[in-house]
Amino acid sequence: MKKYSEQIQRFGRSLLLPIGVMAPVGLLLGISGAFSQKYMIELLPFLGNPAVSQIFIGIRTMSDVIFNNLPLLFAMGVAYGMSRKDKGIAVFSSVLAYLILMIVMNIWLTNTGNLIKEGNIAVGGQAMVLGIQTVNVNVFGGIIAGLIASWATDKYYDLQLPMAFAFFAGRKSVPLISMGVAIVFGLIIPFFWEYLIAFFASMSGLLLSPILGQILNGVINRLLIPFGLHHVWNAMLRFTEAGGVYLINGVEYIGYLDAMNEILFNLGPDSEYWAMMPELTRFGAQNQMVRALFVFPAIGLAMYHTAYNENKAMAKGLIITSVATAFFGNVTEPLEFTFLFIAPGLFLIYSVLGAIGGIALYFMNTAVGYIRGTIFDFIIFGVMFKNSNWINIVIVGVIEAVLIYFIFKWWIVKFNVPTPGREDSAGTDNILITERRFDEVAALVIEGLGGASNIGNVENCITRLRVDFKDKTKINNDLLKKSGCSGVFFPSSGHIHVVYGPMVEFVRNAVDDQLGR
């Protein structure tokens, strides 16, 4: 069970790499899409200049290439994140596995007479992928290829063969084995694909409910935060039938993200299909915008006002950093982890209120698209797009912020919650992170984890250092806290998460350097 749980967490982390690429590329698409709209050109006539227009067309064309090949990006991202032995050969093998998977399904369709030769192939569940007409498995196909490659890498990277076949031994065997396994999956997937679609479709019956679906999405998404599995949940809604199936101009879109991209970036606010946007955006960024732009500052203010007077100067720096990380960078864990484990009841209230706010946004026909909730996304996809009803985010955000402020302030004082500035002993440890003294941080981390001999595999996601260890009794939480982290917890025996926020990658690099890895 422990091994299974760790694998699920690792899988969730592996999705972050392609999603991390999607976010900035999506911003470029949003800017080019907004500035290409007729109403924007009327407002800013210089946008109609042919040279300016060609620049935005070029940006859109380059960005479209990324989005049109998302499954391939997921194949490489999952292979990189899941493999432990040789990430380079895993990524290389994932590309080959993905190509083989696509062509084998094409061969299956052709030989069974199921290849659609006339009409709209999308309606029949097929798609053109890298010039291959195949079963439309979308991102799921990329994930399968990535998992195949990572498994083959870790199992066969040191495969030994008889001398006559020695050239194909070791790492060179991994791509060949990956392609062989991909052939098997390519022959199997078409048989059970309809049943998998039916499963996701049954989930969509609940998730697409205007009220129940929003509550489930809002609460479950937040409750999965401590396990790092919210990325898996989000991917399911974005790329599978669980997020809905939508028909736009005769083309079928699976999951809300592709449908939203088509309307947002290609059809625009004047399209008849813009009326679908509130259905699509209720799973996306607008809920995160309320959280990051309004709720988080309110939580931070409540924490600051309830901090002991002698500790407020110290608390202010940590709180401002945590709030700004979400406001500008869409990273919520640093602030959430300051109260998640010490006040789980408060975290549940926070999650439920967020879900209720999402319901309000939906019924107010809010149509602010995309996947991130930063101030930049709010301006680009909200303020700059006509008919987005972005003002609803401000209205709901202000109401939620007021409620959250008073609830948090009362709860913290009533139950004496040790939020920043209310700890038994105050310190200035976060200065190590803010001043980027990563060598000192790494030294404290290694000592706090019981020394190099007690440390196993070291990884990181966007906000957390994730470390396997041998003996829990050797771990010193006080030293870890002194390193400047904002939270420590144990998702499973033998595994620890230490939360540093967006600087965690530099902490991990410094730890690796000092461990000689």
Query: Hey, what long-range contacts does 378-383 have (CB within 8 A, 24 or more apart)?
Result: 378/289, 378/293, 380/27, 380/30, 380/31, 380/34, 381/30, 381/264, 381/285, 382/286, 382/289
122: pLDDT confidence band, cut at 50, 70 and 90? low
For the ranges 107-116, 323-332, 475-484, the maximum mean pLDDT occurs at 107-116
Q: 252 phi and psi, to 5 degrees?
A: -90, 130
Decide: 244 and 261 in contact? Cβ < 8 Å.
no
pLDDT at residue number 149: 96
pLDDT, tens digit (0-9, with 9 covering 90-100), for 459-509: 887 677 888 888 888 999 888 888 888 778 787 778 888 888 767 888 999
Between residues 423 and 255, the one the model is more confident about: 255
Spatial distance between the Cα atoms of 136 and 106, rounded to a whole number of angstroms? 10
Q: 455 phi and psi, to 5 degrees?
A: -100, 130
Percent residues over pLDDT 90 in the chain: 35
pLDDT at residue number 228: 58
Spatial distance between the Cα atoms of 221 and 460, rounded to a whole number of angstroms? 20
Q: Angle 411-416-419 (CA atoms, 0-180°, nearest 5)?
A: 85
| Tokens of residue 390, six digits | 């972005």
- CA neighbor of 331 nearest in space, from 489, 204, 486: 486
Spatial distance between the Cα atoms of 262 and 370, rounded to a whole number of angstroms? 11
Spatial distance between the Cα atoms of 67 and 370, rounded to a whole number of angstroms? 13
Location of each CATH 3.30.1360.60 domain in the chain: 431-515
Mean pLDDT across the stretch 70-79?
A: 91
Is 485 annotated as catalytic? no
Q: Is the pLDDT of residue 424 over 70?
A: no
pLDDT at residue number 333: 72
pLDDT, tens digit (0-9, with 9 covering 90-100), for 184-207: 999 999 888 777 777 777 777 788
Between residues 164 and 97, the one the model is more confident about: 97
79: pLDDT confidence band, cut at 50, 70 and 90? very high
pTM of the model: 0.67
Between residues 246 and 28, the one the model is more confident about: 246
pLDDT at residue number 124: 67
Q: Is the pLDDT of residue 389 over 90?
A: yes
pLDDT at residue number 259: 93
Buried b (16+ CB within 10 A) or exposed e, 309-329: eebbebbbebbebbbbbbbeb
Spatial distance between the Cα atoms of 278 and 56, rounded to a whole number of angstroms? 26
DSSP states of 158-219 as a string?
T----GGGGGG-GGGHHHHHHHHHHHHHHHHHHHHHHHHHHHHHHHHHHHTSTTHHHHHHHH
CA distances (Å), 422 to each of 299, 315, 352, 489, in order?
15, 9, 25, 20
Percent residues over pLDDT 70 in the chain: 93
Mean pLDDT across the stretch 211-233?
A: 79
Mean pLDDT across the stretch 231-241?
A: 81
Between residues 452 and 334, the one the model is more confident about: 452
Residues in the chain: 517
Question: What are residue 245's DSSP bridge partners?
Answer: 254
pLDDT at residue number 44: 82
Q: Is the pLDDT of residue 111 over 60?
A: yes
Between residues 272 and 26, the one the model is more confident about: 272
Q: Which CATH number fits domain 431-515: 3.40.50.1820, 3.30.1360.60, 3.30.70.2740, 3.40.50.10540?
A: 3.30.1360.60
DSSP 8-state assignment for residue 262: I
Mean pLDDT across the stretch 227-254?
A: 82
Mean pLDDT of the chain: 85
Catalytic residue among 318, 355, 461, 503: 461
pLDDT at residue number 426: 40
pLDDT at residue number 427: 42
Q: Is the pLDDT of residue 428 over 60?
A: no
Spatial distance between the Cα atoms of 479 and 469, rounded to a whole number of angstroms? 16
pLDDT, tens digit (0-9, with 9 covering 90-100), for 125-135: 788 889 899 98
pLDDT, tens digit (0-9, with 9 covering 90-100), for 12-47: 667 767 876 776 777 777 778 778 777 778 778 888
Q: Is the pLDDT of residue 425 over 60?
A: no
Element (H, E) at 457: strand 455-460
Mean pLDDT across the stretch 154-175?
A: 84
Decide: 405 and 302 in contact? Cβ < 8 Å.
yes
- Residue for token digits 């970036």? 265
Least confident of 270-279, 385-394, 411-420, 429-438: 429-438
**Residue 186 contacts by C-beta under 8 Å, 6 or more apart in sequence?**
100, 101, 102, 103, 104, 105, 107, 108
Element (H, E) at 93: helix 87-111
Q: 468 phi and psi, to 5 degrees?
A: -85, 140
Q: Is the pLDDT of residue 270 over 70?
A: yes
Spatial distance between the Cα atoms of 267 and 261, rounded to a whole number of angstroms? 9
Q: Is the pLDDT of residue 116 over 80?
A: yes
Q: Is the pLDDT of residue 429 over 70?
A: no
